[in-house]
Amino acid sequence: MANKDIDWGNLGFGYIKTDKRFVATYQDGAWNEGTLSEDETVVLHESACVLQYAQTCFEGLKAYRTKDGEIVCFRPDLNAARMADSCRRMKMPVFPEDKFVEAIIETVRANADWVPPYGSGASLYLRPFMFGTNAVIGVKPATEFEFRIFATPVGPYFKGGVRPLTVRISDFDRAAPRGTGHIKAGLNYAMSLYAIVDAHEQGYDENIYVDAMTRTYIEETGGANVLFVTKDKKVLTPKSDSILPSITRRSLMTVARDYLGLEAEERPIALSELENFVECGLCGTAAVISPVGKIVDHGKEIVYGMDSMGEVTQKLYNTLRSIQMCEIPAPEGWICKIN
């Protein structure tokens, strides 16, 4: 592996330019084959649909280096399927799912020197995204699109690494009933920018959003789903049509049941239940599993423990990491080998 002169162990979650990115374009009703490019810039028409009406969606997944020096990705087929769902909802043309996975593999291979070493705690984050490029001025979808995948090495999502977070119940909403919360549209993240800056200014690491209709049920945070553990070690996660179906969360529910022998349930979770739980964590590709030490609900503090990760959260974290690093056998189809 070439020396990239990076302090892998101290990487944060930021953009670092890597060698190659995948670029495909859609014109006259068809995607071209796509190619690898060294150019990280995009030149757009001033009235491009993405600039005027935010017609864009994205994905996030990681490539890891295993103990044997191999490079693997985790369940890229599920990112392909979710991106297809996002595209359909955003009136964008689906980039074929098999080609999406091939393009991921091609992008990782072309940036193999940027996959952090085993044991560094870092990984190569992949960001597939699509946007409408041609000029529109009336509110309507574009007819021309670009699909790109770039790669960037990352460390932990939250500043300070894996440590119990302090989060608040947000007064802002992120997604509407029957809106776009269940897809990975850029507009959902635009919605959360004011709230995350405000949360940081008030000393919180993240916002937990509640359902916009009744404001009584837990939804998710700006960039991760939420997991809870009950006193009798049951793993719970909110069920809602307006949250992103996290691949990490779906995987962890399987890990809880099939690897740890725990009960795991997806169901609506009321705000009023928070104090019955003993552990809480945020889960996602970027967040992995980040323990929540404290939730603040308008002056009321629900404390799960600010010293360390909870027992079950730690077991979920260790098992998922071991699966992703190929240290223990993965369920069929979870590991995609790159080389």
Nearer to ligand COI, 224 or 271 (CB): 224
Nearest CA to 82 out of 204, 249, 230 is that of 249
In the set 62, 91, 140, 184, the catalytic residue is 184
Nearer to ligand COI, 286 or 336 (CB): 286
Q: Does 305 bind ligand PLP (CB under 6 A)?
A: no
Q: From start to end of the chain, where are the E strands?
A: 21-27, 30-31, 35-37, 56-58, 61-65, 71-74, 123-132, 145-154, 165-169, 206-210, 218-221, 225-230, 235-238, 264-267, 277-284, 288-297, 300-303, 335-337
Q: Which residue stretch of 117-125, 152-160, 162-170, 240-248 sits at the interface with ligand PLP (rule: CB under 6 A)?
A: 240-248
User: In angstroms, what is the minimal distance from the CB of 65 to ligand COI?
Assistant: 19
Among ligand PLP, ligand COI, none, partner that 220 touches (CB below 5 to 8 angstroms by kind): ligand PLP
Q: Name the residue with the smallest CB distance to ligand PLP.
A: 284
User: In angstroms, what is the minimal distance from the CB of 313 to ligand COI?
Assistant: 17
Q: Which of 13, 54, 60, 318 binds ligand PLP (CB under 6 A)?
A: 60
Q: Which of 236, 247, 295, 316 binds ligand PLP (CB under 6 A)?
A: 247
Nearer to ligand COI, 206 or 279 (CB): 206
Q: Does 252 bind ligand PLP (CB under 6 A)?
A: no
184 belongs to the catalytic site: yes
Q: Which residue stretch of 115-123, 221-229, 290-298, 301-309 sits at the interface with ligand PLP (rule: CB under 6 A)?
A: 221-229
Tokens 């009023």: give the residue: 272
Nearer to ligand COI, 131 or 277 (CB): 131
Q: Which of 153, 156, 284, 293 binds ligand PLP (CB under 6 A)?
A: 284
Q: Does 288 bind ligand PLP (CB under 6 A)?
A: no
As a whole number of angstroms, the distance between CA 332 and CA 339 comes to 18
Q: Check residue 1 and report its DSSP letter.
A: -
Q: Does 73 bind ligand PLP (CB under 6 A)?
A: no
Nearer to ligand COI, 168 or 184 (CB): 184
Torsion of CA 126, 132, 135, 138, to 10 degrees: -140
Q: Does 246 bind ligand PLP (CB under 6 A)?
A: yes
Q: Three-class SS of residue 97?
A: helix
The two tokens of residue 218 are: 């837990």
Torsion of CA 303, 309, 311, 316, to 10 degrees: 120
| Contact residues for ligand COI, defined by CB under 6 A | 60, 223, 284-286
Nearest CA to 302 out of 191, 173, 166, 206 is that of 166
The strand pairing partners of 65, in sequence order, are 71
User: In angstroms, what is the minimal distance from the CB of 192 to ligand PLP?
Assistant: 8
Nearer to ligand PLP, 18 or 242 (CB): 242
Distances (CA, A) of 320 to 79, 94, 234: 17, 30, 17
Nearest CA to 118 out of 326, 301, 265, 337 is that of 326
Q: Is the dihedral of CA 146, 150, 156, 160 positive or negative?
A: negative
Whether 234 contacts 269, CB under 8 Å: no
Q: Which of 76, 128, 186, 223 binds ligand PLP (CB under 6 A)?
A: 223
Residues labelled catalytic: 184
